[in-house]
Amino acid sequence: MQIPQLESALRSVPYLALLGVRVEEARPGKVVLRLPFMAKLHAHGSVLHSGAVYSLAETAASVAVATHPRLSARAPRQKSARIKYYAAAVRDVTAHAEVHAEQLGRLLDGASSEQSVSLDIVVRVLDARGEDIAEFTAHYALRGR
């Protein structure tokens, strides 16, 4: 999916439009999304609200899974997620998500298209200086269609 198409698709989701999520990089199975540091997203102390950071990371994981060509024949369902916050965000943040080829090879090689498989996607959330803000992990069940 091209960046303009992906950005348009994200903006069509009212909540993501409210957050102002922007696409920095996109290719099949990999995405970098930006969350701008805006006053309407602040928590107390003029930092980005942790819920906004979580939403950005969760969206990045979902986009990475949804755009990977080897997963197009499967129906992804997020089963659980967890996040570790390392620092308060006081500037724009980016979420970096990727489905790694070797990870898929271990999961899909030998699995029939009807079998369910599980996949964990780790998303790094960084500030503009490249400092770690959070690490998000989403657990997906990928069911054959």
Host domain of residue 64: 3-144
What integer is the mean pLDDT of 90-104? 93
pTM, 2 dp: 0.93
Strands 74-85 and 30-35: unpaired
25, pLDDT greater than 90: yes
User: Residue 145: pLDDT band by 50, 70, 90 thresholds?
Assistant: low
Calpha distance 21→56 (Å, rounded): 7
| Average pLDDT score over the chain | 92
pLDDT, tens only, 61-94:
999 999 999 888 888 999 999 999 999 999 999 9
Kindly list the distances between the CA atom of residue 17 and the CA atoms of 12, 13, 20, 62, 74, in Å, as whole numbers in the listed order: 7, 6, 5, 16, 27
Calpha distance 8→22 (Å, rounded): 10
What integer is the mean pLDDT of 109-116? 73
Identify the pLDDT of residue 5. 93
What integer is the mean pLDDT of 25-36? 96
CATH number of the domain at 59, please.
3.10.129.10
The answer to whether 22 and 7 have CB atoms below 8 angstroms apart is yes
Q: Which residue has the higher pLDDT, 3 or 110?
A: 3
Provide DSSP, 43-112. -TTS-B-HHHHHHHHHHHHHHHHHH-GGGTTEEEEEEEEEEEE-S---S-EEEEEE--HHHHHHHHTT--
User: Residue 1: pLDDT band by 50, 70, 90 thresholds?
Assistant: low
| Domains in the chain, number | 1
Task: For the beta carbon of residue 48, count every other beta carbon within 10 angstroms.
Answer: 24
